[in-house]
Structure 1
Amino acid sequence: MRLSTAQLFNQSITSVLQKQTATSKVLEQLSSGKKVNTSGDDPVAALGIDNLNQRNALVDQFMKNIDYANNRLAVTESKLGSAEDLTGSIREQLMRAVNGTLSDSERQMIADEMKDSLKELLSLANSKDESGNYLFSGFSTDKQPFAFDNSTPPKIVYSGDSGVRDSLVQSGVAIGTNIPGDQAFMKAPNGLGDYSVNYLASQQGDFKVQTAKIADQATYVADTYTFNFSDNGAGGVNLQVLDSANNPVANVTNFDATTPVSFNGIEVKIDGKPSAGDSFSMEPQSEVSIFDTISNAIALIEDPNVANSPQGKAQLAQILNNIDSGVNQMSSARSVAGNNLKTVERYKDTHTEEKVVNTSALSLLEDLDYASAITEFEKQQLALNAVSNVFSKVGSVSLFDFI
């Protein structure tokens, strides 16, 4: 077997380079604190590490979405709670104002308080989040949702939309982060049912409409109806119901308030005792705005001739029903926000636990055992020194020295 000087040199330099590479690899691991820095270090572990890192990145994005949703829902729930309490206070002010012992000036003072409360309620409905976006404007977050229009008397109108902004909190799971203003303040179910009632100043009898609902959708005819009571000649009254064209749609002889009046798919229950000559009208309205209801309440107590009259008492009953319906609407909207907030918190806990598990698995796959690594480094360093010494000796030896 022939050995040349070049062959000895190449074998020695290859050994030195291999030991340098092994030493550099261990040194890189010590510097990074990771035992897998490239896929070549451990292909199987590298794939697992990549998958876990991707999952953690997705969880981090879910957590950001949850923080955003949590902030908006918490503020929304708080504002709706304040609006609910304020509306309850307005109801108490109204009941205090219709006390017959109050003077006109005292009643006007309460009306002024109610006007201030209405402005405060409007301010709550126009609340913004920490980013300056309107909470109750649907998708139109840059548009003020509620404002007075130019009518006389002015009414509060809604300029937002019914959009619900979703936040992705889990793969395939989106949670609503807002309550549109129309659902919170503008579309409370009518306290009477499907119709609102207009009472006349000429009313003499002590009565009110208790409910006015659609009873049969198949035969229902939407229209404005007028109820006229006339003397039946026996101490009671007869009732005739006319449509908007003054065509009779119902005639009730010897009207009995305990029996509902039915016509055109509509059922109306009247509570109390109408007098001959009394009349009222009703028109379709299945939803009411809490703002309009409070405005009607203020107008009622500002008119001393109406507040304690039979007309005023009947109007008061309708207003109270609609205020209660408005409070229930805000309470329902608040419940939606609160339930979404709880759901978001549950997903946050789930992601937190998942992040802990993923981080633990990552640690097992890539974290370096420093004690073992330092021992390995010392071993490779010793081997490198030995190989380097051999190379220096071989490099200085020539076969011609032995010829």
Structure 2
Amino acid sequence: MRISTRNIYENATTQLNTLQSNMARTQNQLATNKRMLTAADDPIASARALEVTQSKSLNEQYATNRSNANSSLSLVEGALNNSGDLLMDVQTLVVQAGNGTLSKADRNMIATEIEARMDDLMGVANTSDGAGGYLFSGYRGTTIPFVQTDTGAAYQGDQGQRKLQVGSSRSIAISDSGSAIFENNRTGNGSYQTVMVDGNQGGAVGLSGSVSDASKLTGHNYKLEFKVAGTPAVTTYTVTDSSGTPAGPLPTDEPYVSGKQISFDGTSFSISGEPAHGDKFEVKPSQKESIFTTMTSLVKALRDSGDDTNGRATLSNKLITASESLKSSLDNVLTVRASVGSRMKELDYLDSSGADLGVQYEATLSKLQDLDIVKAISEYATQQTTLEAAQKSFKTMSSLSLFNYIG
């Protein structure tokens, strides 16, 4: 078989190009530390690496979301902490206002101080989220949550909780409704309340007490009315429900003893002091009341208070009512704050698991994509030696010619 000079050159060129291409590919692998330069290098591993890369990107986005959620919840927690401090200050002022030695002017000063605390609390309730919105307006993030009114404040937000996806199967609330925090406060003891009826003339003061038997609570409104008759005067009372039926098991005209527990239909409370004939108290189910309504009523009670027996008894009853509502408000704020704390704790756990997952993704991608450096260097050296040998052999072969031997 005859081999032409042209074939020799073409074959040699093809072989040298192939060797150089292989060597260049190995050099690119070493430069990038990647085993796969194109999907054709390992189609199955490339597809798997793409899936893992996408999962890794999602995990990183969840980590960013968790950081944002933690920042938002930190703002909420700080606002709730300030709210709790303000409510405790107001509770202290209520106790101070109950001091019988205070004058009208002293009570007016306390009322002014409570007004200042209410303004502070209003500012906390309208806290900005730092991004042009408000923390406590629900889904209506750009609407200011509370606007002051004559009776307290009007809530302009909604009941929504803004949520953020912080895991593949977990969304977490990063805000709380202002209504749930500042308006979801139960009056009285949380089940019912004992309140003085306006117009009483005596010095009786009522406490809501506690639930003696929850299974017997009826949810009815009751009226307790005092009667003072006879010589010497004997004070009795009768309790009737909203239908006018005497409350069991109390008989009518029950003798009144100051401070003694009065129990019926699962309720148990006490009234102390000296009531006048015809004085009344209501025992009715607890209702939700805005803390701003409570504080507004408290300020009005302090400024309208008198120094006679009836005036002081009226003030004492209203201070007790306000104190019970303030306690409920503080308990509610602490409950929401505990919920926020549990969400922040959950974010910490999710961060930990997310970091572990990120390490797993990196390890998987390393196995799929990373280059065996030692093997690649060895292969590169072999390719280099092969290429040099091919170049030298081609040079020798190309220099052979019959004309060199014709003399």
Is residue 62 from structure 1 mapped to residue 62 from structure 2 by the alignment? yes
Is residue 249 from structure 1 mapped to residue 259 from structure 2 by the alignment? no
Cross-structure match for 1:99: 99
Distance of 1:212 and 1:374 partners within structure 2: 83
Cross-structure match for 1:155: 152
1:127–1:136 contact (8 Å) kept in structure 2: yes
Cross-structure match for 2:343: 340
Distance of 1:183 and 1:135 partners within structure 2: 13
Distance of 1:40 and 1:107 partners within structure 2: 86
Q: How does 1:280-299 map to 2 (within 5 A)?
A: 280-281=281-282, 285-299=286-300
Deviation at residue 129 of structure 1 after TM alignment: 1.8
2:193–2:208 contact (8 Å) kept in structure 1: no
1:196–1:285 contact (8 Å) kept in structure 2: no
Distance of 1:322 and 1:289 partners within structure 2: 9
- Deviation string 1:255-299 (CA, Å, 9 cap, x unpaired) is 25534344xxx8574433644220244666521221111222212
2:111–2:302 contact (8 Å) kept in structure 1: yes
Task: Give the letter aligned to residue 355 of structure 2.
Answer: T
Distance of 1:272 and 1:217 partners within structure 2: 25
1:189–1:286 contact (8 Å) kept in structure 2: yes
1:156–1:292 contact (8 Å) kept in structure 2: yes
Distance of 1:37 and 1:172 partners within structure 2: 34
Distance of 2:63 and 2:239 partners within structure 1: 65
Provide the TM-score with structure 2 as the length reference.
0.85
Task: Give the letter aligned to residue 347 of structure 1.
Answer: L
2:136–2:176 contact (8 Å) kept in structure 1: yes
2:152–2:295 contact (8 Å) kept in structure 1: no
- Shifted more, 283-292 versus 2-11: the winner is 2-11
Residues 402 and 163 of structure 1: is their aligned pair in 2 closer, same or farther, counting only changes over 3 Å?
Answer: farther
Q: How does 1:132-211 map to 2 (within 5 A)?
A: 132-149=132-149, 153-192=150-189, 193-194=191-192, 197-210=195-208
Distance of 2:161 and 2:327 partners within structure 1: 25
Deviation at residue 163 of structure 1 after TM alignment: 0.8
The DSSP-based 3-state class of the residue aligned with 1:75 is helix
Distance of 1:301 and 1:281 partners within structure 2: 22
The DSSP-based 3-state class of the residue aligned with 1:231 is strand
Residues 65 and 217 of structure 1: is their aligned pair in 2 closer, same or farther, counting only changes over 3 Å?
Answer: farther
Task: Give the letter aligned to residue 239 of structure 1.
Answer: T
Task: Give the letter aligned to residue 245 of structure 2.
Answer: V
1:62–1:169 contact (8 Å) kept in structure 2: yes
Task: Give the letter aligned to residue 131 of structure 1.
Answer: A
Deviation at residue 8 of structure 1 after TM alignment: 3.2
Distance of 1:161 and 1:91 partners within structure 2: 29
Is residue 321 from structure 1 mapped to residue 320 from structure 2 by the alignment? no
Distance of 1:176 and 1:161 partners within structure 2: 15
Distance of 1:399 and 1:199 partners within structure 2: 132
Cross-structure match for 2:28: 28
Cross-structure match for 2:304: 303
Q: How does 1:104-115 map to 2 (within 5 A)?
A: 104-115=104-115
Residues 85 and 219 of structure 1: is their aligned pair in 2 closer, same or farther, counting only changes over 3 Å?
Answer: closer
Provide the TM-score with structure 1 as the length reference.
0.85
Is residue 238 from structure 1 mapped to residue 241 from structure 2 by the alignment? no
- Deviation string 1:15-41 (CA, Å, 9 cap, x unpaired) is 122112201211211222222222222
Deviation at residue 389 of structure 1 after TM alignment: 4.1
Q: How does 1:122-137 map to 2 (within 5 A)?
A: 122-137=122-137
Is residue 353 from structure 1 mapped to residue 351 from structure 2 by the alignment? no
The DSSP-based 3-state class of the residue aligned with 1:40 is helix
1:137–1:180 contact (8 Å) kept in structure 2: yes
1:136–1:181 contact (8 Å) kept in structure 2: yes
- Deviation string 1:197-248 (CA, Å, 9 cap, x unpaired) is 3532433142315259896799656xx66543223647122325474xxx62
Distance of 1:399 and 1:200 partners within structure 2: 133
2:194–2:281 contact (8 Å) kept in structure 1: no
Cross-structure match for 1:120: 120
Distance of 1:196 and 1:231 partners within structure 2: 21
